[in-house]
Amino acid sequence: MFLEERRHLIWQYLNKHERGTVNYFSACHGVSKETIRSDLNILAEMGLVQRCHGGAIILRRSLQSELISETGRGFEVLLQPIAHRKPQNDHQQKGKVMQGKVCVFGSFNVDIVARVERFPRGGESLLALASSLGPGGKGANQATAASKAGAKVHFAAKVGKDQFSQLAADHLNASEIHSYTLYQSDSEPTGNAIIYVSQENGENMIAIYSGANKTITHSEVQAIASELSSSDVLLVQLENNLDAIVALIEMAHGLGKTVILNPAPCSDEIIPCLPFVDVITPNETEASLLSGVDVRDLDTAKEAALIIADMGAKKVLITMGSRGALLLDNKQFSHIRAFPAVTVDTTGAGDAFNGALAASLAAGNSLVQAATWASAFASLAVELEGASNMPDFEQATARLRTHN
């Protein structure tokens, strides 16, 4: 057995079991304990494991169906970008209350953002004030939000075999997301989004090409069953192929997990699946499309919520921007107020809300408590530039206390 093969097998075992001993690996692979210690030390230097007395524990379970590499030369290719990163440890979580686990299944996109004074009119060219390229996608953003809001998060997504696949791996390795499953498509590129952000009011316009996000297979859904079974909450959106989303929702329902569906971008094809959804979180536009009611205020939001509930969703939570959110739970309405914010960029507001909501529910809070926490968290997100830029647990806690 080659050196790289043995280390790969050791890493795979730790990835699955989270910990292992020098004695076990020595007996399993027929090599000396000193050789195993050397293997574990190398993996620790690469930021994949943490050495402890008599063995090692995993730092980040990165379950890859294929290596994030265009060369495909072997395990060492996967380790190259990680080797330069500092290992994540418990000190990085100082002050954060980590309770509950959230499984986020969704999209990873590359966001190409142009900041403009105002949105261009038809046929008009505008000079942008600034531009940027970075990680995005509702799934990745919501996974980031949930992890920053205090949950242990496993994120599952799919990218292409292109120059952006490494961006995905680097972003996830550098994030506070605990673990991830990242598949690769042979036929489609990494998803991308073109985003205009207006300086007038912070509003945004987005065009998305889903790419690899729409190629999730049945076997890839089944492969994350173990992560789902150890989670408290499943959070999904609609930027992936519908058959995969439905399969995972039904799997989570069968396992007794709380299922949160953020129906964005909206599709009425998800309606037959609503009886398996515990909380659906449309914004005003999505609620209008699902219900047929033009949601303009709280009264019309109530009409829309009742219609969506009749479709099978157990609880309906309509987000309404500066008007807060409307919750329908067991035929009772609650108004979740918005928190004051100085708006810079609303692009990631919905993702911040959904991620924080999932984190709070996973921690065992009631839906009203979770929605209030999510509202505070999202109010901070709109003060930051970029959809993937999220506040942290302590900031959201301070805002909640200040304006409670």
What is the DSSP track for 239-262? SS-HHHHHHHHHHHHHTT-EEEE-
381 is in an annotated binding site: yes
Q: How far apart are CA 193 and CA 207, in angstroms?
A: 6
Q: How far apart are CA 269 and CA 335, in angstroms?
A: 28
91, pLDDT greater than 50 = no
pLDDT digits (tens, 9 = 90+) for 321-357: 889 999 999 999 999 998 888 878 777 899 999 999 9
65 pLDDT band, cuts 50/70/90, is very low
Q: Looking only at Cα atoms, what is the longest distance across the chain?
A: 72
Nearest 10 degrees: Cα torsion 131, 133, 137, 138: -40
61 is in an annotated binding site: no
pTM (two decimals): 0.76
Cα dist from 6 to 2, 38, 65, whole Å:
6, 12, 18
56, pLDDT greater than 70 = yes
Q: Which of 44-48, 50-54, 60-64, 189-193 has the lowest mean pLDDT?
A: 60-64
Higher pLDDT, 19 or 289: 289
Q: Is 375 in contact with 341 (CB distance < 8 Å)?
A: no
202 is in an annotated binding site: no
β-partners of residue 105 are: 156, 236
Per-chain mean pLDDT for the chain: 86
134 is in an annotated binding site: no
Q: Which of 170-179, 204-213, 336-345 has the lowest mean pLDDT?
A: 336-345
346 is in an annotated binding site: no
Cα dist from 298 to 41, 318, 326, whole Å:
59, 10, 7
316, pLDDT greater than 70 = yes
Q: Which of 142-156, 283-297, 381-395 has the lowest mean pLDDT?
A: 381-395
- Cα angle 231-98-234, degrees, rounded to a multiple of 5: 25
Return the pLDDT at 53.
81
pLDDT digits (tens, 9 = 90+) for 96-139: 565 799 999 999 999 888 999 999 998 999 999 999 888 889 99
Q: At residue 363, what is the residue type?
A: A
> 351 catalytic, yes or no?
yes
Q: Is 314 in contact with 277 (CB distance < 8 Å)?
A: yes
Active-site option among 39, 232, 278, 351: 351
Q: How far is CA 356 from its chain centroid?
A: 11
Range among 241-255, 343-357, 372-386 rated most confident: 241-255
